[in-house]
Amino acid sequence: MITAPPVRSWELDRTPDLVDLVSAARDAGHEVLLIERPMPDALSVAALGRAYDMVAVPGGVALEAAGGDTVDFEPGADRLPASARLWRRLRASLASAGPAGIGPIAVGGFAYRPDRDPGGPWAGFPAVLLRVPALAVARVRGRTFAIAASSGAEALLELTHTGVRAPAARRLDVTSVRNPVAWTAAVESAATRLRAGEAAKVVLAREVVARGDGVVSAGMVARALRAAYPSCFTYVVTGADGTAFAGASPELLVRRAGSRAYSQPMAGSVARGANEADDDRLARQLEDSAKDNAEHRLASEFVIEALRPFARSVEARGPEVVRFTNIQHLATTVTADLADAATDALDLAAALHPTPAVGGWPRQAADALIDELEGLERGWYAGAVGWIDGRGDGEFAVALRCGLLWEDGARLYAGVGVMPDSDPARELEETELKFKALLMALT
């Protein structure tokens, strides 16, 4: 049993802006994480500093104390189930000394390939990182709670954001890491191989580099994304190398709330129109598209079947067209009545990730095509970000519409689902549409 001081929690009589809070903590040299769930059932968590990290290491997942010492280890080549087992042990030792239902929480996420350690520009991010912060601030249905797992963590509430010390970027120089002609050729190659039967679907991503003429602040980007995409999950995760991973994801991988689990797979996309009538026309086009419906069916049926072993019953509603600021998607809402109270949010995330919406199907064949044709290091792109609490409740959003930020620039990522009848030119246009989500927020 891990020996740990009680987690203290209390309700705050004021509601700090969580972006300001994480920006101030980052200014002071602390590692920070932020995830904000959109309305109407809004929930936001800011994580400041660290008390413990559950982090991917060779052979499994280690529990590291704030100073970096390993205090526990869970072996396993499959790191997400190993993380779930380690979290059950840790949360049992982190007794709560606060209001009922407010106790220990871990915030973080994992790479698209949790079995691989990211390299290249992702050197600051392990394959799995779930952090018990020194101080978490959670805003739930209009009430705000602080959760301290380290002595003196209350002082983090008093930090003040100093603002950007240098001029913010006003212009961006955007370049494709891979020539768009070469990328569309890879899409055509993938579609040809799908027609030959190698797989049913594969997702291929693009990467662009945006360099600014001034500072690109993670806090500024998060605030811009929150304002521009209010119906998306907004998130920021700082890396050990000073970079920050930020994005605005439309897609819920899984939410567990007591005996219920929820997921909303999305696949199949079209642009927004110039007006409501144009929106409706494009939505009907999406609903009538054989390619998009086939692509969506793979994702939704996978989620339904992945949840069945954990559930007494599984219900699905959809597909329906859901609209975001600059794009429309086919989405299916899946609800599961869990059979075992011990099944927590990490167990469910491990069973669902990656869905065919971000990888393809069958999974092994799709990953082989990705490795051969994509030509980039995904890192945490198309992984997941989220949180889990001491009761096993929590949620993880698919890490989409995202970028890896540094002081004056960013690497941005966007992917498309390739099907046997995909049009490479249309798939390229879809990536450009998705890149706009981050590009508009960088300046």
Confirm whether 291 is a catalytic residue: no
Alpha carbons 296 and 423: distance in angstroms, whole number? 17
Return the beta strands (E) in 111-232 as ranges.
Answer: 128-132, 135-140, 143-148, 172-176, 201-212
Q: Which of 341, 331, 291, 334 is nearest to 314 (CA)?
A: 334
Encoded amino acid at 137, one letter: V
Please report how many Cα atoms fall inside a 13 Å half-sphere around the Cα of residue 308, on the Cβ side: 8
Chain centroid offset of residue 70 CA = 26
Which member of 36, 64, 74, 201 is catalytic? Answer: 201
Alpha carbons 251 and 387: distance in angstroms, whole number? 15
362: left (phi over 0), alpha (psi -120 to 50) or beta: beta
Which member of 64, 74, 207, 251 is catalytic? Answer: 251
> Which residues, other chains included, contact 440 with Cβ-Cβ below 8 Å and sequence gap of 6+?
224, 228
> Which residues, other chains included, contact 54 with Cβ-Cβ below 8 Å and sequence gap of 6+?
61, 62, 63, 64, 83, 86, 87, 90, 106, 108, 128, 129, 130, 131
For residue 61, what is the enclosing H or E element? strand 60-65
Which tokens hold the place of 303? Answer: 């989620």
Residues designated catalytic: 201, 251
